[in-house]
Chains A and B, each alone.
Chain A
């Protein structure tokens, strides 16, 4: 455990060494951003709309008291989406989508000697392979989370529109009532940290793959599982620190 942590930290240090040529690295960063950002947009859009709608319906179902205004449903949906569902659930899904792809890509490069080829050429392989992924992760995750929040609200609106329990007007009023900007800060901090966790853990698992195709699959699985555990752990830590 301690040995793995040490190797993880050393790998991160190597990953952020001065690049051989900034231009080549920049192109890689752009490629990874497109892959992580645009490539994940579809799944994020789908899950966010459904989560937003489901949260709204379930909240409305539980608030049956005539003493509680219906607009509270909007407020609870907003806080749930911003604080938990958009950053955390999206990151868990992205760990499966992006993380496994990163771990298996780097793992395959390891077992097919492509990483050896980079090292022979004098390229800092961790820097070339991992740093663009980390940069793409920490920049694209917050953007994806913002998209997720907005679509979650849209899902809630659709749920209100298609049912009679809460009106869309009450929902919209609830979204803006009692808004505390700190939840956006917490959300963005979570998105950046989760982006870092997924990209670094999965890259680490891929980079130290040994063996063949079977081990590449195992590395990808390990990367996703460890990322998910760390995401949930840091979710608690960040919530405790900021709220």
Chain B
């Protein structure tokens, strides 16, 4: 479980996050949504420690991550998997080497065991046999899936995903969403997904945090989101013609 308490983040005079608190539970898909510039990615980076919050705390299973130094964070970090917006695969390594990279650094497994784990992860994301390809030889959707395979290689307790569907076609987006959702349940992970894709929201949004102007504007599930009277949230949710048409039919 991850708990964020009154997170503020300032860049100079610009306050991007203004006191956000929430609890992200394991085994469910926690989504952070909001328009561009609402602070979603900044919040995610504060949670994983890529940004230090100006104020507030992030607790991983009750342990205050914000107060920890680099060395103290390492044991928690080895339980974190993250899929980046552009996948962030290491260009100089093959698919297999990318997946085995955290295993090489943080486990004492034999080469055969690491290779077995890499193969298992690749099979899990339907990319069996692509071990020797380089990231430059993969499509956008395949890169995302390799990113997921690398993220789950250490069997993490926490999975963070930044804009999983950006640049992907709707069919591939659904595949990625479903994969994230299945893995969340399978590993009982605390999954936090940053997105502005309404397909993801409606498809896998078990717990949704809507940010607006750096504040928590609304919190609920995908079952509640279409029936809320929150003006800004409605504007966001029904911004697309597809969603407006769907609402009109309801």
Binding site for B on A (CB under 8 A): 20-21, 23-24, 108-109, 112-114, 116-117, 119-124
Contacts and interface: CB of A to CB of B under 8 A. Distances in A.
A29 to B, nearest CB: 15
Given A119-B50, A121-B77, A114 B90 contact: yes
B84 interface: yes
Interface stretch (B24-32, B99-107, B200-208, B218-226): B99-107
Contacts of B74: 20, 122
Which of B77, B101, B105, B106 has most A Cβ within 10 Å? B105
B50 A20 contact: no
Contacts of A113: 84-86, 88
Nearest to B77: A122
Contact of B78 (A23, A117, A122, A124): A122
Nearest to B107: A21
Contact of A116 (B50, B73, B75, B102): B50
Interface string B81-117: 0101110111100000000011011100000000000
Contacts of A117: 82, 84, 88, 90
A114 B88 contact: yes
A131 to B, nearest CB: 14
Given A112-B88, A117-B82, A117-B88, A122 B50 contact: no
Contact of A124 (B70, B80, B91): B70
Contacts of B85: 113
A33 to B, nearest CB: 15
Q: Is the interface of A mostly helix, strand, loop or mixed?
A: helix
Contacts of B82: 117, 120
A108 B102 CA distance: 21
Q: How large is the interface on B (under 10, 10 to 19, 20 to 34, 35 or more residues)?
A: 20 to 34
A21 B103 CA distance: 11
B106 A122 contact: yes
A122 B84 contact: no
B194 interface: no
A20 B101 CA distance: 12
A117 B160 CA distance: 11
12 contacts: A20-B105, A24-B105, A112-B91, A113-B85, A113-B88, A114-B91, A117-B82, A120-B160, A121-B78, A121-B101, A122-B77, A122-B106
A109 B82 CA distance: 16
Nearest to B154: A121
Nearest to A124: B70
B106 A20 contact: yes
Contacts of B86: 112-113
Contacts of B106: 20-21, 121-122
Contact of B102 (A112, A114, A119, A121): A121
A116 B88 CA distance: 8
B189 to A, nearest CB: 15
Contacts of B84: 113, 116-117
Contacts of B80: 120-122
A21 B77 contact: no
B149 interface: no
A121 B105 contact: yes
Interface in B50-89: 50, 70, 73-75, 77-78, 80, 82, 84-86, 88-89
Nearest to A123: B105
Contacts of A123: 105
A119 B48 CA distance: 9
Given A116-B50, A121-B101, A122-B73, 20 more contacts: A21-B105, A21-B106, A24-B105, A108-B91, A109-B90, A113-B85, A116-B84, A116-B88, A117-B82, A119-B49, A119-B77, A120-B48, A120-B50, A120-B77, A120-B160, A121-B80, A121-B102, A122-B75, A122-B78, A122-B80
Contacts of B77: 119-122
B66 to A, nearest CB: 15
Contacts of B91: 108-109, 112, 114
Nearest to B75: A122
A119 B102 CA distance: 11
A117 B84 CA distance: 8
Contacts of A24: 104-105
Contacts of A119: 49-50, 77
Contacts of B75: 122
A176 B196 CA distance: 74
